[in-house]
Amino acid sequence: MIKAVIFDLDDTLIPENKYVESGFNIVSKYLEQQYSGKSEDIYKELICLYKENSKNVFNRWFDKKQIKYTMEEIKQIVKVYREHKPTIEFYSDVIPTIKKLKEKNIKIGIITDGYVETQKAKLQSLNAYSIFDEIVITDELGRQYWKPHPRAFEIMKKKLNIEFEEMIYVGDNPEKDFYIGSLYPIACVRICRNDCIYGDKKYKNEFREKYKIKNLNELMEKI
Ligand SMILES: [Mg+2]
List, for residues 135-178, the tens digit of each pLDDT value: 999 999 999 999 999 999 999 999 999 999 999 999 999 999 99
- Give phi and psi for 70, each to the nearest 5: -115, 165
Q: State the distance from the centre of ligand 1 to the C-alpha of 54, rounded, in angstroms.
A: 16
- Pair (100, 9) in one structural domain: yes
Q: Does 104 lie in the same domain as 75?
A: no
Residues 98 and 197 in one domain: yes
Centre of ligand 1 from the C-alpha of residue 172, in Å: 5
Task: Indicate the pLDDT class of residue 198, thresholds 50, 70 and 90.
Answer: low
pLDDT value of residue 204: 86
Q: Output the CA 67–ligand 1 centroid distance in Å.
A: 35
Average pLDDT, stretch 101-124? 96
Q: Are residues 124 and 211 in the same domain?
A: yes
User: Roughly what angle, to the nearest 10 degrees, separates helices 16-34 and 71-83?
Assistant: 130
Q: Tell me the average pLDDT across 175-188.
A: 96
As a whole number, mean pLDDT of residues 10-35 equals 95
CA–CA separation, 112 and 8 (whole Å)? 5
pLDDT surpassing 80 at residue 194: no
**97 and 75 part of one domain:** no
Examine the domain organization and report whether 173 and 132 are in the same domain: yes
Taking the centre of ligand 1 as the mean of its atom positions, its distance from the CA of residue 127, in whole angstroms, is 19
Is the pLDDT at 187 greater than 70? The verdict is yes
Number of structural domains (the chain) is 2
Identify which has the larger pLDDT, 31 or 207: 31
Which pLDDT score is estimated for 95?
97
Identify whether residues 106 and 74 lie together within a single domain.
no
Q: Is 24's pLDDT higher than 90? A: yes
For residue 174, the enclosing domain spans: 4-14+89-222
Same domain, 106 and 180: yes
Alpha carbon of 33 to ligand 1 centroid (Å): 33
- CA 66 to ligand 1 centroid distance, Å: 35
* Claim to verify: residue 163 and residue 96 sit in the same structural domain: yes
Q: Look at residue 122 and tell me whether its pLDDT is greater than 80.
A: yes
Query: Do 64 and 154 belong together in one domain?
Result: no
Q: What is the pLDDT of residues 49-95, one digit of tens each?
A: 999 999 999 999 999 999 999 999 999 999 999 999 999 999 999 99
Q: Which residue, 83, 106, 141, sits at the end of a domain?
A: 83
Interatomic CA distance for residues 74 and 69, integer angstroms: 8
Which pLDDT does position 202 carry in this prediction? 86
Do 70 and 115 have their domain in common?
A: no
Which is nearest to 185 in space by CA: 214, 162, 217, 219? Answer: 162
pLDDT score recorded for residue 195: 62
Among residues 30, 61, 83, which one ends one of the domains?
83
Q: Cα(145)–Cα(122) distance, rounded to whole angstroms?
A: 20
Asked whether the predicted pLDDT for residue 97 surpasses 90, the reply is yes
Contact 174, 204 (CB under 8 A): yes
User: Are residues 140 and 184 located together in one domain of the fold?
Assistant: yes
